[in-house]
Amino acid sequence: MKRLLLLLAGLIGLAAGLLLYAYAGERPRMRLQRYRLRLPGGVGAGLRILHLSDQHFSGDDWVRRSRLRHIQRLLQGLKPDLILCTGDFLHNDAGLDAVESLLRLLPPAPLGCYAVLGNHDYVEYSWRDFLLNALRQVTGADSWTGWLRALARQAWEMAALLARIWRNDRLRFARVPNNLAELRALLELYGIILLQNEARPLPGESGLWLAGVDDPVEGSIDLEKTLAALPVGAPALFLTHNPDPALALPPGRVLLSLAGHTHGGQVVLPWLGAIHTQGTQLSRRQPAGLIQRPGHAPLIISRGMGESTPLRFRCPPEIVLIDLLPADPAS
């Protein structure tokens, strides 16, 4: 019995330690993830692209302050030619001041800074409101039978939500609108060009085009309109918050896609992989990173700089830097 109690205490201590690490160990840290890519024909050779995604800024706390310090340190000396942001600047409106702090930290980029919106730029999904509403449904019952029915109904809804998480379905619950107008004004103030179902050529002599779509969950995505604005055969980069539109692109329409949204799964377990890949078509084994499929353009999915729930395990936040290489002399 004593051994059993010691084992149980050890398991509880281990679980508590892992949970504490997931909450406070990786979240405030930030890594610089570098990619060196060679696009067909050496298009864009010599360009350096800074890819930022999923800041999920909310109210001021020690994680946010630590994260901004790491961002400032990592951005120093990068000297990008182009900055591309793939959405979810906000988690809720309390993060608008941190978005402005980030925009002030961005280094100069000769080819400009472009962005698309993410689902959280539109709304916050509030676990707090979801759980409080469930509690109100149960405690508001006026009889024992009503209480039991409400409890069973809420247990069923929670089980259904967990099943959607397990199936990697898209999640929409307890939606609280964010101040999108204020975010748009802030991006415009700092010269960030927002792409919503449109394509445009990059300035200068790069020869590249940019195409960007609205968020498919909370926005009004129009992939057909976006591709219609992109000249056939034009060398293009594609921006989307959710990777799904990038995975739906016809072969040959773009040279490289950038996305976020998955956060790399946030919690990545040995053998299983990511607990939830944020409703994309990606496997649990690779919910982020460089995705290369035969016959399709490469897709880079950032693990993001923030998170939707305050946990990260074996999946630290990141800033992405992409260097485009000259054509292979042997080809």
Q: Can you give the pLDDT at residue 15?
A: 72
The pTM is what?
0.92
Q: Which residues contact 140 (CB under 8 A, 6 or more apart)?
A: 150
Helix pair angle (96-105, 62-75), 10° resolution: 20
User: Which of 271, 200, 212, 209 lies closest to 236, judged by CA?
Assistant: 209
Q: Can you give the pLDDT at residue 156?
A: 80
Q: Can you give the pLDDT at residue 285?
A: 87
Sign (positive or negative) of CA dihedral 181, 185, 186, 191: positive
Q: Can you give the pLDDT at residue 287?
A: 93
Helix pair angle (144-166, 127-139), 10° resolution: 160
Q: Can you give the pLDDT at residue 104?
A: 97
Q: What stretches in the chain show pLDDT beneath 50?
A: none
Per-residue CA distances from 166 to 56, 267, 274 (Å): 23, 13, 10
Chain mean position to CA 206: 27
Q: Can you give the pLDDT at residue 190?
A: 98
Q: Can you give the pLDDT at residue 160?
A: 75
User: Tokens in use for 271?
Assistant: 């053998």
Q: Can you give the pLDDT at residue 155?
A: 75
